[in-house]
Structure 1
């Protein structure tokens, strides 16, 4: 019975990802004309739009270069990777939104691989104290870029770090946090009137890495053979348009690992190139990226800079096509909510099972096991629950933006788009990096994203409990209801 239920669920998810829900088309105006000739209003919106939505929003924008200047290593891949230069700078970017009654939310996006709970909590305490932001009003989103720097308390056992490198990581993290806070202050000090618009396009380079062998993908693509597995090729686009008709900011997302590159040069991977393209093509616009539920998605083929540029161009082109369509305006009402849900572990570690791992041949697991042993011998009692962050921002009646901590697989995005009536977007790398977040389907299938991998993320366990999707879905539904109750 369990096997049949898993197969049925898998077919359901794949039918969503390959149907109109997963490959929505984008309609583009046949020609570019001036806003005046098109009969648009002061915000550059068509007269067919609901003009009551066109006013009432304000936006603040902040930016900071966060490219390391010390000797911190590059994050990802579990190796010592010393930087040898940069292709382009890394950024922290901020948009603050204010609705018609003055309610605010702040989104920070960064070109980092992961964000630890330590950093998130530290940043939240500062923005709460300095700017009066509630937890529900602040979201920290990281692109999961593997050509960015290591950060404090993120994947602490993953790298073969020595004391000097750990000091460099702490030094960079403190410097970066000050940059982020300054960018938030900049955004909150410089409000501009705007219309807020939303739309969606598609982009096709993300491949389900669980169901397609990387070495076989180039030949399959060359032959036009269909790839397997669930995908989410949506490109969500949120745009802020000034009264003069130009774009102040463009926030866009995509569900895919930024792992095109595997070298020792600072770079924002395909999201970095996409943002650069948009800011060059729309001067004066702040382009910002969020990673959707791409935990089981890779850009394939990969490992070449020209492919990274190609994917960045594909993504920015998809965004520009959306910007040229008749995007839908959003009424100026914000309703944010935040909650934690306790995720259960399948089994906690103990000394008996840790000791052979601590002296084993796998360096990462040995470092983790030895750290866990020290904690146990020091008298620490591990909790069998982990606090997982869930966030929701309802924007008017038109858009629901959900934030989830960790590397959620694509099933979550496909599910929530079906469960909620308004247009729904899911940011899968929000606030801090919990670990891979499997759906029930992926958990039952096992493999890297669904199996015993929590040791890599520093948890005192190997695997989540099998009810992880039910727990998260219940928390998301509860959090979304809170936005409806307060909106």
Structure 2
């Protein structure tokens, strides 16, 4: 027994890799008649062979990138964590996973299984958040399209889809097991600190340093059961190394667990324009973990109380051009045909063929759906934004919440599904003037996805719609105004 480490237990098998941090070990009891009770589990989801058909990795273009089947187990494996919060006869489920993104169809299938088929939780009470590690598996085949992003062939894409089903099976089993376990009576407490782990890669002045924390404690004696924590920085410190890794946020989680003896769940924020400082993965993880540990030990906590009021809504983010207009589609097609000569690159040719095919088949997207989720509790409100949201929205949403009187607010991004960048008006106006238009989604032509840009990466025809330059507040038909209006509606 002495030779069995925590990590060896986690690597014990595909479905057998059950967490050391679990409600069963902590000593579950019957749920209380009032207050909170929690159940929690983790699972190693690092792809291995046999078991996973694909070892292709997401996060980077424009060539194939995958982990070696013979590579040793990663120092910091990819994990999924699930916590079920029981309160007032209902259950709220937070599921976080170490992948770069979850496309819409995969998100919807997970929600269908958990909420409809198994009837484990009401849909608005179920939230999934991706860590956005760029050293995780490629999930799904839509946005992004692995053929466009990495030039994979049909057999490779079939393998990616096979692994996607393994991924969904594992997460469904994890949620079911956690929800059905007898929970532990618990108290929840919110505090916020800061850590300097990132920089604004667009050169803008705002750098995200907020570190929100929810400490989950046993009602019987106050022992720490779990720590929910976050920051807003791209987990890309591992670079393009061909091996799976949860990056610095995974390092932070394991340090916190070892120091505090409680499960640590990381939730990503509005990191769309935030990259890590030029430090090692270990140094970044230690810096973030140290901040979280200090908050848990010495932070000024606010008690979190029920009831938990939840809502899940969805808005449509408009493109800069009206793709329902036949004349617009014809002009888009003409523009994309000019890219087929390959002068901008092979990925641009693959993307152009994708969009031309969609136009010819009458399948061109009219907008990009964006789920937005809100959990209101006494002491803190959690807002879950889908997609890669830039930090401007963190500032604007917090200002909006302050005006309304929301109180403590935790803004998560990469929630439920991630299929595009959500740029603010000022970034969309700047286009190639900021980071060559990567986040804005355009550079050489404001009508179409820019070469090497995020809209090309994710497989969309055009950038998002912005207000007319200089407009303040944002015009109602802009992506910025639509997102902020939805958030305001959820807060009120």
For Structure 1 versus Structure 2, the TM-score category normalised by the shorter chain is 0.7 to 0.9
What residue in structure 1 maps to residue 217 of structure 2? 241
The one of 380, 385, 393 aligned to 2:367: 385
What residue in structure 2 maps to residue 252 of structure 1? 229
Unaligned runs of 5+ in 1: 1-53, 212-227, 482-487
What residue in structure 2 maps to residue 426 of structure 1? 411
1:136-285 equivalence runs, <5 A: 136-153=124-141, 154-156=143-145, 157-190=148-181, 191-211=183-203, 229-242=205-218, 243-262=220-239, 263-283=241-261, 285=262
Q: 1:254, 1:464 → 2: CA distance?
A: 28
What residue in structure 1 maps to residue 313 of structure 2? 339
The TM-score, its normalising length taken from structure 1, stands at 0.80
- Is the CA contact (8 Å cut-off) linking 1:55 and 1:195 kept in structure 2? no
- Is the CA contact (8 Å cut-off) linking 1:144 and 1:258 kept in structure 2? yes
1:131 aligns with 2:119: yes
What residue in structure 1 maps to residue 350 of structure 2? 367
- Secondary structure of 2:350's counterpart equals helix
Aligned residues: 405
1:111 aligns with 2:103: no
1:401 aligns with 2:382: yes
Task: Tell me by how many angstroms 1:171 deviates.
Answer: 1.4
Q: 2:456, 2:463 → 1: CA distance?
A: 6
Q: 1:260, 1:152 → 2: CA distance?
A: 24
Per-residue CA deviations over 1:161-199 (Å, capped at 9, x if unaligned) read 112321221111111111101110121122111000110
Task: Tell me by how many angstroms 1:245 deviates.
Answer: 2.2
Q: 1:55, 1:309 → 2: CA distance?
A: 42
Q: 1:87, 1:369 → 2: CA distance?
A: 39
The TM-score, its normalising length taken from structure 2, stands at 0.79
- Is the CA contact (8 Å cut-off) linking 2:97 and 2:130 kept in structure 1? yes
Per-residue CA deviations over 1:325-369 (Å, capped at 9, x if unaligned) read 242211121000011111110024532112122342422221121
Task: Tell me by how many angstroms 1:104 deviates.
Answer: 2.0
- Secondary structure of 1:331's counterpart equals strand
1:327 aligns with 2:301: yes
- Is the CA contact (8 Å cut-off) linking 2:139 and 2:163 kept in structure 1? yes
- Is the CA contact (8 Å cut-off) linking 1:232 and 1:414 kept in structure 2? no
Which deviates further from its counterpart, 81-90 or 101-110? 81-90
1:82 aligns with 2:82: no
What residue in structure 2 maps to residue 291 of structure 1? 268
Per-residue CA deviations over 1:405-442 (Å, capped at 9, x if unaligned) read 11111111122222222111111111111311111222
Q: 2:360, 2:430 → 1: CA distance?
A: 35
Q: 2:177, 2:485 → 1: CA distance?
A: 36
Q: 2:393, 2:360 → 1: CA distance?
A: 39
1:478 aligns with 2:489: yes
Q: 1:134, 1:465 → 2: CA distance?
A: 35
Q: 1:135, 1:150 → 2: CA distance?
A: 25
Per-residue CA deviations over 1:23-81 (Å, capped at 9, x if unaligned) read xxxxxxxxxxxxxxxxxxxxxxxxxxxxxxx9711111122111001442121221322
Change in CA separation of 1:464 and 1:112 when aligned onto 2, cut-off 3 Å: farther
Q: 1:352, 1:478 → 2: CA distance?
A: 40
The one of 428, 435, 440 aligned to 1:443: 428
Task: Tell me by how many angstroms 1:394 deviates.
Answer: 0.5
- Secondary structure of 1:450's counterpart equals coil
- Secondary structure of 1:158's counterpart equals helix
What residue in structure 1 maps to residue 474 of structure 2? none
What residue in structure 2 maps to residue 49 of structure 1? none
- Secondary structure of 2:101's counterpart equals coil
Task: Tell me by how many angstroms 1:155 deviates.
Answer: 1.2
What residue in structure 1 maps to residue 43 of structure 2? 64
- Is the CA contact (8 Å cut-off) linking 2:42 and 2:82 kept in structure 1? yes
Q: 1:382, 1:465 → 2: CA distance?
A: 20
- Is the CA contact (8 Å cut-off) linking 1:417 and 1:425 kept in structure 2? no
- Is the CA contact (8 Å cut-off) linking 1:416 and 1:424 kept in structure 2? no
**After TM superposition, where is structure 1 displaced by more than 4 Å over at least 4 residues in a row?**
none
Change in CA separation of 1:465 and 1:124 when aligned onto 2, cut-off 3 Å: same
1:310 aligns with 2:283: yes
1:460 aligns with 2:450: no
Q: 1:231, 1:445 → 2: CA distance?
A: 19
Task: Tell me by how many angstroms 1:462 deviates.
Answer: 3.8
Larger RCO (CA within 8 A; separation ≥ 6): 1
The one of 99, 109, 114 aligned to 1:122: 109
